[in-house]
Structure 1
Amino acid sequence: MTVTASAATTGIQPYRRRWVALFVILAAEVMDLLDALVTVIAAPTIRKELGGSESLVQWLGAGYTLAMAVGLITGGRLGDLFGRKRMFVIGACGFTAASLLCGLAVSPEMLIASRVAQGLFGAVMIPQGLGLIKEMFPPSELGKAFGMFGPVMTISSVGGPVLAGWLVDADFFGTGWRMIFLINLPIGLAAVLAALRYLPEYRLSDATKLDLPGVALVSAAAFLLVFPLIQGRELGWPAWTFVSMAASVVMFALFGRYESRRAASGRDPLITPSLFHKRAFTGGLVAGLAFFSGMMGFGLVFSLYTQIGLGFTPLEAGLAALPQAIGGVAGFALAMSGLQEKLGRGLLQIGTLVMGAGAAVLAVTINLAGVEVSGWQLAPGLALVGIGMGLTMAPFFDIVLAGVEPHESGSASGTLTGIQQLGGALGTAVLGTLFFNLLAAEWSFGSSMQVTVWVEVGLLALTFALSYLLPRRARPEQQAH
C-alpha cells in the first residue's frame, strides 16, 4: 500500500506543526460530540417554540446518529481516495453550514433535514482526523496524541448538557435554543482555516473504489427500521409500519449477500464478510447495539422526564444529568488505572452490573419520592450509572476488535463505530416511543420513566450475557495471565 503526500508536507511533520494540526482535529471532535448531546437537553424547548409532533424530539437525535452511522462506514475511504485533508475540510465546511441551517430553521422538517446533513458531513470529517494523526506523528508520540482524545471527550460529555441548558436559558441575542447550533460557526470556521494551513495532505495511491450499491442497501435497511419505530405511534401503527420493519430485515439480508458476492469477485466490499464468521465480533456488534441503544434512549427520556414531568428548566435538567457524566469520567479513569489490562472482559461485565444497579436505584428513588423528587435525590443512582458506563466503555472496543485480523481491522473499526451510532438512533426511537406510548395511555411521568429505566436494565442484562462471547483479553499476550 502506497501513501502519497503533498510535496510540502512529506514525512513526519515538524513538532509544532503536527501539534497545532492535532488541536484542529480535536476541535472537529468537540463539534461532533457536542452536537450529539445538546439536542437531548434542548429538544423540549425546540418543540415548544418551533412546533411539530412528539416525534420531532426523537428525530433530532435519531436523524443525526442514523446519518452518522451510515456515513462512517464509507467516510474513511473517501479520504483514502481523494485526500484526507481535502475531505476533512469539506466535512468541516459542510458541518458548519449545516449547523447554520439548524440555527436558522423555520420548520421541524428543515431542522431535521439539517441535522441529517450534520451527521453526513460529520461522518466525512471525523475519520480523516484519526487517519491524519497516524500519518503525522512518529510511533513515540502516537500514544500521547491519541491520549488527548480522552480529556476532550470527557470535558465534552460533562459540559455538553450543561452548556446546552445554559445557552437555551441565557437566550443570547434572543436566539434561545438556536445558539446551541450557532456556536459551531466560530469553531467550525476556525477549524477550516487552520486545517487549510496546518493539515498535511495524504492519499492512498492504491485506494479502492467506493461500494456505492452497498451504501445504498445498508442506508435503506436502516431507514426502513428506524422510520416506522418513530412515526408509527403517532399514526396508530398502520400496516405499512410493520411491513417496513420486515422489509428492513430483508434489506439487511440482501446487503449481506451482495457484500459476500462482491468480496468473492475480488472487489473491495463495504464491510468484510469474513468478520461475521467470527463469533466474538458478531457477539460484540449485538452487545454494542443493545448497550448503546439503552444508553442513548435513556438519556433522551431522562431529559423529557426532568423538563416536562418535573418542570426543570433546560439548565436545571443539564445540571441534574451532571452526576452521570462525572461518574462516567470517574469510571473511565478507574479503568485506565490498570483495571482494564488486569480484568479484561471482566471489567466490561462489572461495568454493566454497576450500571444496572445504578438504574435500579434510580427507579426506586423515582418511585419513593414521586413528583417531588429533586436533582440531589436522583444523583446517587445517576452517578452509579455513569461509573458503570465508564467501566464498560473503556475496554469495549479493544476487546471486540481483539480477534480481528490485521487486514480486517479498518472494516471492523468502521462497522463497530457505525453500530454505536445506529444503536443511538435505535434507542432514541424505541425508548422514546415507549415513553410517549405510556404517557398517551395516561401513565404518570414517574411511572413511565420507571418502565423505561427497567427496559434499560434489561438491555444491560443482554449486554452482560453477550459479553461471554467476547475474548477474555484484548491482546493475546494477556490471555495467559
Structure 2
Amino acid sequence: MTDTLLATRPTRQRRATPGGLTPAGLTTLLIGAALAPIDFMVVNVALPTIDRDLHASTATLELIVAGYGISYALLLVLGGRLGDAFGRRRLFLTGLAAFTLTSLVCGLAPNVQTLIAARIAQGAAGALMLPQVLATIQATTTGTRRARAIGRFGATSGIASLIGQVGGGLLLAANVANTGWRPIFLINVPIGLTALLLAVRTVPATRSDRPARADLAGTVLLAVGVAALLVPLTEGRALGWPGWLLALFAVAPFAAVAFFLVERRIERSGRVPLLPPSLLRLAGVRGGLLAAVPFFVGFGGFMFVYALAMQQGLGLGPLGAGLAISPLAVSFFVFSMLSPRLIGRFGRRSLPFGVAVQGLGIALMIPVALFGWSHRAPLLLIVPLVIAGAGQAVGALTIFRVVLSDVPADRAGAGSGILTTTQQTALALGTALLGSLYATVAGSGSGSGSGAGAGGAAGDGAAHGMAAVLAVQLAACVLIAALGRRLPQPR
C-alpha cells in the first residue's frame, strides 16, 4: 500500500456550494489567515510595555512570544488532518472561534501567567484555523482561479507582517483609554466575530472522501520532535543554554527518525498516517519543501535582525522600526498579486528569477550597512527593500504553487499542514541562527569603539551584524536558485 497516495489524484469533494470558493469566501478565509501572523508580530513591539505593566522577567517575556509560536507550529499538521477528516469549514470555524476567545483572555489577563497560558492556547487555535485556508483553496479551485487565490494568500502573509508591526506601534502610541498593550489583543474580538458570521455563509464545506483514523503515535512523535527543536531555539538565549535544554535539543533528530519510521509502517499497513511518507515522494512536494527551508530561514532571520538593527543601531522606536520595513512589505503585497501571471508564464523558472531579484536587493543593502549607516539609512534602504520584497513574493508564491499542485485534493489538509509547519519551523530556525550571528557580530563590533554611525560603537556593531546576516542570506539565494532549477512545473 506504499503507493496508495501516489496513485490517488484529486477526487470528488463534498461542497456546500456548487460553485466552490467565491470571492467573499476567499476574503473570509484570508481574514483568518492574516490574524495568526499579525498576532505573532504585534507582540514583539509590545513586550517593553507588557514588562512595565506585569513586571515580567526576560525569560517570561520570551515565553509570551515562544509559547504562541511553539504551539502553533506543533499542531499545524494535526490541524490539517482534522480538517480532512471532520470538514475544513468546521475546523476553520472552530479555530476562528477559539482564536477570538483566547484573544479576549489575552487582552483581559490579570497577570503574566494567565497571558502565557492564553498565548499558548491562541497559537493552538491558529494551528486549527490556518491549514484550512490553503486546504480549502486546494480542494475548491483549479487552474488560474487557484493561482490567483494562492497569490492573494501570499499577499495576505506579506501585509500581515506590516500590519502587525506598524498597527501594533500605533495602538501602543494611542494608549486607548489608558489600557496600554491590551488593545493589540482585544481588537481581534470584533474582527473574529465578524469573520465567524461571514464564514458560516460564504466558506464552502469540504472534507476528504476517505477520512482516516487518528494516528496517535505519529501525533506524539511529531509534537516531541518539533518541540525538541523549537523550545531550545526560542528559549536558549534567554535561559543561558542550561544542560536540560541542550539535552532536549539532542532529542530532535531521534524523534524525527522515529516519526518517519512509524509513519512509513502505518502507511504500508494500509492505514493513513498523520503525514503520509508517500507525499514526500511527490517531486513537487519534496523539491518545494527543500527549497522552502533556506528561503524561510533567510526571511525569518532578516525580519528579526532588521527590526533589531533599526532599534539598537539607529535608535528608532517600535513604530519607526515598523515603518522602516514597510517598503518591503508593500512590495511583497503588490508582487504577490502579480505573481500568478509570472508563474503561469515562466513556471518553475519563476523561483530562480525571484531569488535573483531578491539577491539584487540584498546585495544593494550591504554597502548601506557597511558605509551608509546613519540616520539616512532607512531612506537609502527603500529601493533595495522594494527590490528584495518583489523577489521574495515571486519566490514564496512559486514554492507554494509547486508544493500544492502535486498534492491530491483529498489530502489537501495534510499537504497544507506540512507546508505551513515547514515554513513556521524554518522561520523560527532563521530567527535563532541569524539572530545569534547578528548578536555575535554586533557585540564584537560594538567593542571596537570607532564611534561612527548613528549610535557610535553600538551603531557600528549593529551595522556589521546586519551586513553579516545579509551576506549569509545572499548565499542562501544562490542555493535556492540552484534547487529551483530541479523543480517540476507548477499546475
TM-score, structure 2 length as denominator?
0.82
- Tell me whether 79-88 or 207-216 shows the greater mean CA deviation: 79-88
- Deviation digits for residues 64-108 of structure 1, max 9, x if unmatched? 333222222121322333333332222111101221222234555
Matched, 1:39 2:43: yes
1:386 corresponds to: 389
User: In the superposition, relative to structure 1, how do residues 278 and 370 fare at CA in structure 2: closer, same or farther (>3 Å)?
Assistant: same
Q: For 2:14 and 2:410, how far apart are their aligned partners in 1?
A: 20
Q: Which of 454, 460, 464 is matched with 1:450 structurally? A: 464
8 Å CA contact 1:289, 1:423 repeated in 2: yes
The alignment status of 1:161 with 2:175, answered yes or no, reads no
Which of 170, 176, 179 is the matching residue for 1:172? 176
Structure 2 vs 1, CA of residues 307 and 168 (structure 1 numbering), >3 Å: closer, same or farther?
farther
Residue in structure 1 matching 2:222, options 218, 225, 250: 218
- Change over 3 Å in CA distance of 1:115–1:438 after alignment to 2: farther
Structure 2 counterpart of 1:455, one-letter code? V
Matches for 1:68-467 after TM superposition, within 5 Å: 68-132=72-136, 149=153, 152-153=156-157, 155-196=159-200, 199=203, 201-204=205-208, 206-277=210-281, 281-333=285-337, 335-338=339-342, 340-370=343-373, 372-400=375-403, 411-436=414-439, 443=447, 444-448=458-462, 450-467=464-481
Separation in 1, partners of 2:363, 2:473: 13
Residue pair 2:439, 2:465 contacting (<8 A) in 1 also: no
Letter in 2 for 1:184: N
Task: Provide the C-alpha distance between the structure 2 equivalents of 1:337 and 1:205, rounded to a whole number of angstroms.
Answer: 32
Assess, with a 3 A threshold, how the Cα gap between structure 1 residues 143 and 52 changes in structure 2: closer, same or farther: same
Q: Within 1, Cα distance between the matches of 2:144 and 2:299?
A: 35
* CA displacement at 1:250 relative to structure 2: 0.9
- Write the distance in 2 (CA, Å) between the matches of 1:315 and 1:414: 33
The 1:352–1:152 alpha-carbon spacing in structure 2 relative to 1, beyond 3 Å, is: closer
1:470-481 matches, within 5 Å, as 470=484, 474-475=488-489
- Specify the code of the residue in structure 1 equivalent to 2:475: A
Q: How many residues align?
A: 470
Q: 1:86 to 1:274 in 2, by over 3 A?
A: closer
- The range that moved more, 214-223 or 443-452, is 443-452
CA distance in 2, matches of 1:21, 1:278: 30
Deviation at 1:14, TM superposition (A): 10
Name stretches of at least 5 consecutive residues in structure 1 with no aligned partner: none
Q: Deviations over 1:134-176 (max 9, x none)?
A: 6777999766666654664554444443222211111111123
Contact 2:131–2:420 (CA under 8 A) maintained in structure 1: no
Contact 1:85 1:201 in 2 (8 A): yes
CA distance in 2, matches of 1:413, 1:247: 26
Change (3 A) 1:403 1:366: same
TM-aligned CA distance change 1:307 to 1:152, over 3 Å: same
The unaligned stretches of length 5 or more in structure 2 are: 1-10, 448-457
Whole-Å separation in 1 of the counterparts to 2:93 and 2:409: 29
Deviates most, 293-302 or 304-313: 304-313
Kindly tell me: are residues 432 and 402 of structure 1, through their superposed partners in 2, closer, same or farther at Cα, counting changes over 3 Å? same
Return the alpha-carbon distance in structure 1 between the equivalents of residues 35 and 245 of structure 2.
Answer: 34
CA deviation after TM superposition for structure 1 residue 204, in Å = 4.5
SS in 2 for 1:266: coil
Letter in 2 for 1:12: P
Moved more, 192-201 or 29-38: 192-201
Distance in 1 separating the partners of 2:381 and 2:129: 37
SS across alignment from 1:287: helix
Task: Please provide the CA RMSD for this pair.
Answer: 3.5
Paired amino acid for 1:127 = P
1:212/1:312 CA distance change after superposition, 3 Å: same
1:366-421 deviation line (CA, Å, top 9, x unaligned): 33244544421332332232122123213122234566677766534321221001
Q: Percent identity?
A: 35
